[in-house]
């Protein structure tokens, strides 16, 4: 099963992806985790990505698509995966659809976690990851970038009748229950 978990920063994608990974025994691929690892290890990509993220901006499409495509070619993803944080732009979604087509594969579910903005800001500022862009001003910038550049990805998949909107408020378990119901 190939799943995209989608939503704004702070919607709970990473938390729900871990639960889905355990439930369906398929790997979770988070571009955020790949980037954080590269930043922590100070790889050339990590240094570049850190400066971009420090400005509250998004990593260029071509860098992200290349990273994800290379990762998905690994054996551990042959039976499915959960994508979290990708695709982030329509260009990435189009490139991903091309990748799927070239590899005789398809997307099984596009799960959109819907959460009000006030709750997102509260969640991000309280999660304590220590990211350099976890300030109220930078969070607002990230949410604005999300609205302008990332939310159109949902429209792209809505045109393909693949979007399933899930209420992202409530306990972790309640939200997970809604996602499992949507996947059945």
123 is an active site residue: no
| Range ranked top by mean pLDDT from 15-29, 54-68, 146-160 | 15-29
Binned at pLDDT 50, 70 and 90, residue 133 comes out as low
Q: Determine the Cα–Cα distance for residues 12 and 30; give it in Å rounded to an integer.
A: 12
Q: Determine the Cα–Cα distance for residues 11 and 14; give it in Å rounded to an integer.
A: 9
Instruction: State residue 7's pLDDT score.
Output: 92
pLDDT tens figures, 9-47: 889 998 999 999 999 999 999 887 777 877 898 988 788
Q: Residue 153: which CATH number?
A: 3.40.50.300
Instruction: State residue 129's pLDDT score.
Output: 63
Q: Which of 13, 48, 78, 178 is catalytic?
A: 13
| Residue 25 CB coordination number (10 Å) | 10
- pLDDT at residue 119 is higher than 70: yes
Domains in the chain, number: 1
Instruction: State residue 70's pLDDT score.
Output: 78
pTM across the whole model: 0.81
Instruction: State residue 147's pLDDT score.
Output: 86
- pLDDT at residue 173 is higher than 70: yes
178 is an active site residue: no
56-73 average pLDDT score: 82
* 14 or 167: which leads in pLDDT: 167
97-108 average pLDDT score: 93
Instruction: Please identify which residue in the block is written with the tokens 């702070």.
Output: 10
Q: Determine the Cα–Cα distance for residues 160 and 153; give it in Å rounded to an integer.
A: 11
Q: Which residue range is the domain that position 30 belongs to?
A: 2-183
Q: Determine the Cα–Cα distance for residues 6 and 90; give it in Å rounded to an integer.
A: 13
Q: Which of 73, 127, 147, 180 is catalytic?
A: 127
40 is an active site residue: no
127 is an active site residue: yes
Q: Determine the Cα–Cα distance for residues 18 and 90; give it in Å rounded to an integer.
A: 25
Q: Measured between alpha carbons, how far is residue 106 from residues 37, 68, 143 in Å?
A: 28, 15, 29
- pLDDT at residue 58 is higher than 70: yes
Instruction: State residue 131's pLDDT score.
Output: 65
Q: In this structure, are residues 80 and 20 in contact, taking their beta carbons and an 8 Å threshold?
A: no
């Amino acid at each position: 099963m190939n799943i995209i978990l989608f939503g704004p920063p702070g919607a709970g994608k990473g938390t729900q992806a871990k639960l889905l990974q355990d439930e369906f025994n398929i790997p979770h691929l988070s571009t955020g985790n790949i980037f954080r690892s590269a930043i922590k290890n100070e790889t050339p990509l990590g240094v570049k990505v850190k400066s971009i993220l420090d400005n509250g901006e998004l990593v260029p499409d071509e860098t992200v698509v290349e990273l994800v495509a290379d990762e998905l070619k690994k054996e551990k993803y042959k039976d499915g995966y959960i994508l979290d944080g990708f695709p982030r732009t329509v260009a990435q979604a189009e490139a991903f659809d091309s990748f799927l087509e070239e590899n005789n594969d398809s997307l099984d579910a596009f799960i959109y976690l819907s959460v009000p903005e006030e709750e997102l800001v509260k969640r991000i500022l309280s999660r304590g990851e220590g990211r350099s862009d976890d300030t109220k001003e930078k969070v607002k910038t990230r949410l604005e970038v999300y609205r302008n550049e990332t939310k159109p990805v949902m429209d792209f998949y809505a045109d393909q009748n693949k979007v399933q909107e899930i209420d992202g408020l409530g306990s972790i378990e309640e939200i997970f229950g809604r996602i499992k119901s949507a996947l059945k």
